[in-house]
Chains A and B, each alone.
Chain A
Amino acid sequence: MIQLLLKIWHTLDDRLGLVKNLKPLMDHRVPKESKWAYVFGSATLFAFILQVVTGVALATVYDPSATGAYKSLEYISRQATLGSFVRGLHYFGASAMILFIGIHMLRVFLYAAYKYPREGNWLTGVVLLMFTLGMGFTGQLMRWDQDAVWSVNIAARQAVRVPFLGKYLQQFVYAGDRLSGLTLNHFFDLHVFIIPGIMFAFIGVHLYLVLYNGISEPPKAGVPVDPKTYRRQYKELVKKNGVPFWPDAAWRDALFGSLVIAGIVTFAFVYGAPHLAPPPNPTLLNAEPRPDWYLLWYFAILAMSPHQLESGIMILAPAMVFGSMFALPFFFNSGERSLRRRPWAVAWVTIVVVGVCTLWYEGKISPWSPRFNAPPLPASMTASLNPSARRGAALFHDKRCESCHMIEGYGGLRGPNLSRAADRLNREQMEWRILNGGHNMPSFAGILKPDEVDDLLSFLHTRDFPSGSQIGSTQP
């Protein structure tokens, strides 16, 4: 039996040339010290393969039309056998892919592995990062729920701000002058055919370059990259001190990649498919579109930019970020790789990581968004007030002051907390502010009647330290 199998194998190998052509690839020597820090690229690749497989599976049920997409998503999420699980796999797979491509890129930057001769590895990697984020954005749209529809609108509104080309970019986003039945079809084509096709090509080149240029050795201080001698030095290093890629180095990739897949499966099993917003009807206006977590930091940038610089930030910031990533290996392709000799690299990574995490946090709580559903102030807070102040407390809710101002834990975060307003402002100052508004506050002069202003002022006037602390203590 074994004899027969061996014979079949030898026959096949003779015709296919597997051992002859692939064994050198498996055996090629890699630096012995390149260990756990090097597993994130392959983890990204495993996540990508999972996305292809789960995406193909979802496409057997998904209906890429404006009228059918949402219904088919509801069907996948609620009725199809294992549908919620498979959608969960695709969502958490996307999350993992974005997470690991980010970590992989940071690692490559910290190790200065973009230097000679691996500039091409870095450049194809930046392209893959852009397309991965593009897949994240277009993937979110595939749900074609209310959030997706308004996300398209938001993308179009940003596109139109690009000088000269803005109008055409907007038409490209909408697939016409305005959102229509074609919009989803176009994004479906991008998400399922065009971008993945380009990504396959770039992943092919990226992997070819990894093999051709070899896996970088961990940097050592005082051993700079010199393009004249590097290849010879690397060859000697892996000859003298290298190990065969398979299995001495690849086992870590296999183990870590499998754990990543197991993690994605666990998340998909526990949490299932991600949330589906209400149906994609542009006339249902109670929408609060938010991007998925991997783009939430960008949502925060759009809210926090100074208004006058906003168009510039929207267009220039991505251009500068990706532009400098593309420029990096052209300007710094030799010299020291060790972080001890590259303090600016450490500073940059710190700024990027802390910045993105802060923006994530801000995006998550989005203090700039009004709280439409803030409940009226409770009786415990208003019962002891005189009638005018009590009417003022009701106005505080009805006139939507509460959407942006918080009192004792009730209300929004956009404007200052008014729990102790009377400690900071006297009656005249408050009146001036209410009637005139400010940069982020409407003027209420044309909205409130004079007696309403009086009531509101009476109420706000009770918000001083003694009453605040007294009422505050009754709050849970």
Chain B
Amino acid sequence: MTDQAQTSTSLLSRRHLLMFVSVAAGGFATAIVGLPLIGFLIAPLFRRQPGVWRDVGPLSKFPVGETSKVTLEDSSSIPWGGADSLTAAWLRRVDEQTFQAFAVDCTHLGCPVRWEASAELFMCPCHGGVYYKNGEVAAGPPPHALEQFPVRILNNTVQVEWRKLPDVAENCLHSKEADA
């Protein structure tokens, strides 16, 4: 009687041990493959692209009062990125020394706005957003003005800083504060 009970408990604990070993071994194998994989997969979420100044042309190329398209290359170095590494901006020469470089992304949903020179308006092809030449919202759904890249003049060359566009949410707050 006692012998039998002992056998069954020892059997049970032996089974428990085997189950534990199976699950633990499986868990270990999964973890040593899984954790690095997860790290590899989510790494792009934490990939920061620092700002970088890009030459866009000599000062003389941009007449005062006019707005023209310039192309900026981003700071990432994905060798097969091709044209995806390029960003366009609308560069407006306000006066001799002042420039504004607008991101082409409509602040509504990011469609590319066009500069309609004769009407002096930026117009979005998607949902009817319109901006004045200074980037302020003229009509339609955009929540705030066109975002801007920093511009500087260095040895008669105009430079625009490619950088990550500010978060829309932050900008909304700013424009609301400005309105108030």
What separation, in Å, do the CA atoms of A103 and B169 have in the docked complex?
38
Is the pair A307, B141 in contact by a Cβ cutoff of 8 Å?
yes
B132 close to chain A: CB less than 8 A: yes
B58 vs chain A, min Cβ distance (A): 20
Q: Does B150 touch A at the CB level, under 8 Å?
A: no
**What residues on B are CB-neighbors of A170 within 8 Å?**
167
Contact (Cβ within 8 A) A182 B78: yes
Question: Chain A residues with Cβ under 8 A from B69's Cβ?
Answer: 283, 285
- A368–B116 Cα distance when bound, in Å, is 17
Cβ A447 vs Cβ B105 within 8 A: no
Instruction: Return chain B residues, CB-CB under 8 Å to A281.
Output: 83, 86
Q: In the complex, which residues 294-350 of chain A have their Cβ closer than 8 Å to any Cβ of chain B?
A: 299, 302-303, 305, 307, 310
Does B110 sit within 8 A of A, measured CB to CB? yes
**For window 375-432 of chain A, which residues contact chain B by CB distance below 8 Å?**
398-400, 403-404, 414
The interface stretch among A15-23, A154-162, A204-212, A460-468 is A154-162
Q: How long is the Cα–Cα vector from A319 to B28 in the complex, in angstroms?
A: 37
Which residues of chain B are near A399, meaning CB under 8 Å?
118-119
- Quick one: given A178-B74, A289-B111, are A66 and B118 in contact (CB under 8 Å)? no
Distance, CA A337 to CA B74, complexed state (A): 58
Cβ-defined contact, B110 with A400, below 8 A: no
Give the residues in chain A near B35, CB-CB below 8 Å: none
Q: Is B157 an interface residue (CB 8 A)?
A: no
Q: Which of B49, B112, B127 contacts A178 (CB 8 A)?
A: B49
Question: B residues 134-150 with Cβ under 8 Å of A?
Answer: 138-141, 143
With a 10 A CB-CB cut-off, give which of B69, B109, B164, B168 has the most chain A CB atoms.
Answer: B109
Contact A158 B138 (CB under 8 A): no
Least CB distance from A400 to B in Å reads 4
Asked if B151 is at the interface of the complex by the 8 Å CB criterion, the answer is no
Known interface pairs A368-B128, A372-B123, A403-B123; A180-B81 also in contact (CB < 8 Å) = yes
Fill in one digit per residue for B75-86: 1 if any A CB lies within 8 Å of its CB, else 0.
010111111111
Contacts of A451 in B (CB 8 A): none
Q: What is B's interface to A at a CB cutoff of 8 Å?
A: 44-49, 69, 71, 74, 76, 78-88, 104-105, 108-114, 116, 118-121, 123, 125-128, 130, 132, 138-141, 143, 164-165, 167-169
Write the residues of chain A forming the contact surface with B, with a CB cutoff of 8 angstroms. Answer: 65-68, 149-150, 153-154, 156-158, 160-161, 166-168, 170-172, 175-184, 186, 279-283, 285-289, 299, 302-303, 305, 307, 310, 368-370, 372, 398-400, 403-404, 414, 437-443, 446-447
Q: Besides A66-B84, A372-B116, A403-B123, 14 other CB < 8 A contacts?
A: A153-B110, A176-B76, A178-B165, A182-B81, A281-B86, A282-B112, A287-B112, A287-B125, A289-B125, A302-B127, A368-B127, A369-B125, A370-B123, A442-B138
